[in-house]
């Protein structure tokens, strides 16, 4: 069974924001190192956090009994355990829970744990904050905050096990300084085990770098660490030898809490087919004119290849989440637009947009909700700027860029205000039942004659930075290049 136990840096390790709040209240009740009084502490936290709290009392026979079992915990676990004993849980979970409670009471200090559940309705991992207290009559009680860390519905299980791609979720184990010591596999479907060359092995709770052969490549591992630390997605292709056969994988890397979600797609057949196609096309090119059937076959092959190349070019130019231009393609097209404007003596302006407090969306509603907000905001930008005179791209995360051709600073500022006005009146749809209001900060710069894209982007970035510092949900107008140079 996967589990973690920590007594240091609890607020930094935890995911639920309530943990830091409850921990501060607990510390404030500990007067000069004395144990926290149960009656006073419970009276304060139960009205505020009771739906996510459990209260447990030792039974005197190496067991514990629930005296309070919050409604949110019931909702996630599927049943209440009020009045029941911890030993009635499944053996592994019961042993871990009792040991954790014993440790919290023995050390008389807060304890933070993460463990894999079993037999609940839809929870894969739980995080808990265990707080030891003492009543006026000398009895000991543990007040425990408990909330699911990851969800795995029946639908998700079906998707995982029927997916043609391997899917692996990794959780980072960090040292006290925040460095990644290990990554543990907390979810993996059978396809992932097959692609890893371990079809008969249960990958759960194993070291990801030992179980997944491609993670032994230092360059791939560093890209995974980079994705975790910067909370940015990535995609790569790699090959390795498995039972004497070369296997090609496309690996999509996405941040998932303090860990990663890896999607593994076997592209071996596609790679071999492309190589074969190139050889066949070369052979057919030599036989053109010999017979009509050969010409017809060659034409079909070339058509398929061109269609594949067009699709590959489209994928290479666009951001997979939003279908906007990715940063590399945006930069190439923007440089071309600036060269054309220089020749035609026309104006060009750049707007850089950054959604405000976006991390709070991910923290409060989860990364799928964050992705939905990003997609909805991208649709908003496309609706406003989709024409041959404009370029719209996603720079990464919650940052976007808009290049406006034949547009001066005043018109660009007016367009930027339209974005803010749209956000004021429009919520970003997340699901059928949830829509979120977000704001954005914008940096606006108009190009000066002879100015490069790098200089224009730097000025717009500085204007955006100033708008953020001035309170967010603002427009920042870039200073002229000479003003920036003088300030430097």
Q: Domain span at residue 472?
A: 327-487
Coil, strand or helix at 7: coil
Same domain, 258 and 285: no
Coil, strand or helix at 174: strand
pLDDT score, position 258: 81
pLDDT score, position 124: 65
Coil, strand or helix at 226: helix
Identify whether 108 is part of a domain: yes
Identify whether 375 is part of a domain: yes
CB 361 within 8 A of CB 374: no
pLDDT score, position 160: 73
Identify whether 322 is part of a domain: no
Same domain, 106 and 20: yes
DSSP 36: P
Give the model confidence (pLDDT) of 269-289 as tens digits: 888 888 788 888 777 777 776
Identify whether 222 is part of a domain: yes
Q: Which are the contacts of 42, defined by CB distance < 8 A and separation ≥ 6?
A: 55, 133, 141, 143
Give the whole-angstrom CA distance, residue 481 versus residue 476.
15
DSSP string computed for 109-164: S-EEEEEE--S-SSEEEEEEEEEEEE-TTS-EEEEEEEEEEEE--HHHHHHHHH-S
First to last CA, the chain: 57
Domain end call among 95, 124, 151: 151
Domain end call among 95, 123, 151: 151
Give the model confidence (pLDDT) of 339-368 as tens digits: 999 999 999 999 999 999 999 999 999 999
Same domain, 284 and 206: no
Identify whether 72 is part of a domain: yes
Same domain, 343 and 305: no
Phi (first) and psi of residue 12, to 5 degrees: -75, -35
Overall pTM > 0.75: no
How many structural domains comprise the chain? 4
DSSP 318: B
**For the domain that residue 459 is a member of, what is the CATH number?**
3.30.70.270
Same domain, 391 and 458: yes
pLDDT score, position 487: 55
Same domain, 179 and 103: no
Identify whether 63 is part of a domain: yes
Give the model confidence (pLDDT) of 129-159 as tens digits: 999 999 999 999 999 999 987 544 454 666 7
DSSP 50: G
């Amino acid at each position: 069974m996967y589990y973690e136990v920590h007594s240091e840096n609890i607020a930094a390790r935890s995911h639920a924001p309530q943990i830091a709040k409850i921990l501060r209240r607990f510390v404030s009740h500990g007067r000069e190192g004395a144990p926290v009084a149960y009656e006073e502490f419970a009276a304060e936290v139960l009205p505020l956090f009771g739906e996510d709290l459990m209260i447990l009392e030792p039974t005197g026979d190496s067991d514990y009994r629930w005296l309070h079992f919050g409604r949110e915990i019931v909702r996630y676990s599927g049943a209440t355990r009020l009045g029941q004993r911890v030993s009635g849980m499944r053996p592994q979970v019961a042993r871990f829970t009792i040991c954790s409670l014993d440790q919290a009471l023995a050390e008389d200090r807060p304890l933070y744990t993460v463990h894999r559940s079993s037999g609940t309705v839809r929870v894969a991992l739980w995080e808990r904050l265990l707080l030891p207290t003492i009543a006026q009559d000398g009895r000991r009680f543990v007040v425990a905050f408990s909330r699911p860390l990851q969800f795995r519905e029946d639908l998700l299980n079906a998707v995982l096990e029927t997916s043609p791609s391997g899917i692996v979720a990794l959780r980072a184990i960090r040292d006290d300084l925040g460095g990644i010591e290990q990554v543990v596999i907390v979810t993996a479907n059978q396809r992932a085990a097959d692609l890893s060359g371990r079809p008969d092995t249960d990958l759960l709770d194993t070291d990801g770098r030992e179980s997944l052969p491609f993670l032994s490549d230092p360059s791939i591992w560093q890209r995974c660490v980079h994705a975790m630390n910067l909370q940015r997605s990535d995609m790569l292709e790699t090959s390795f030898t498995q039972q004497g056969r070369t296997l090609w994988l496309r690996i999509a890397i996405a941040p998932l809490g303090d860990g990663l979600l890896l999607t593994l797609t076997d592209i071996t057949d596609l790679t071999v087919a492309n190589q074969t196609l190139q050889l066949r096309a070369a052979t057919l090119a030599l036989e053109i004119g010999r017979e009509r059937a050969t010409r017809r076959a060659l034409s079909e092959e070339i058509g398929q290849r061109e269609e594949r190349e067009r699709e590959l070019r489209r994928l290479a130019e666009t951001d997979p989440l939003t279908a906007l231009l990715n940063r590399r393609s945006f930069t190439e097209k923007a440089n071309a637009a600036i060269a054309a404007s220089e020749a035609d003596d026309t104006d060009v302006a750049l707007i850089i947009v950054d959604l405000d407090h976006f991390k709070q969306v991910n923290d409060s509603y989860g990364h799928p909700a964050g992705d939905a907000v990003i997609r909805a905001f991208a649709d908003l930008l496309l609706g406003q700027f989709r024409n041959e005179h404009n370029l719209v791209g996603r720079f990464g995360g919650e940052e976007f860029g808009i290049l406006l051709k034949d547009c001066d600073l005043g018109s660009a500022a007016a367009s930027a205000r339209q974005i803010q006005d749209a956000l004021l009146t429009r919520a970003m749809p997340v699901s059928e039942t949830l829509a979120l209001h977000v704001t954005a900060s914008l940096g606006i710069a108009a190009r000066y004659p002879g100015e490069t894209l790098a200089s224009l982007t730097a000025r717009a970035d500085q204007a955006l930075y100033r708008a953020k510092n001035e309170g967010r949900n603002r427009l920042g107008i870039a200073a002229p290049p000479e003003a920036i140079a003088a300030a430097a």
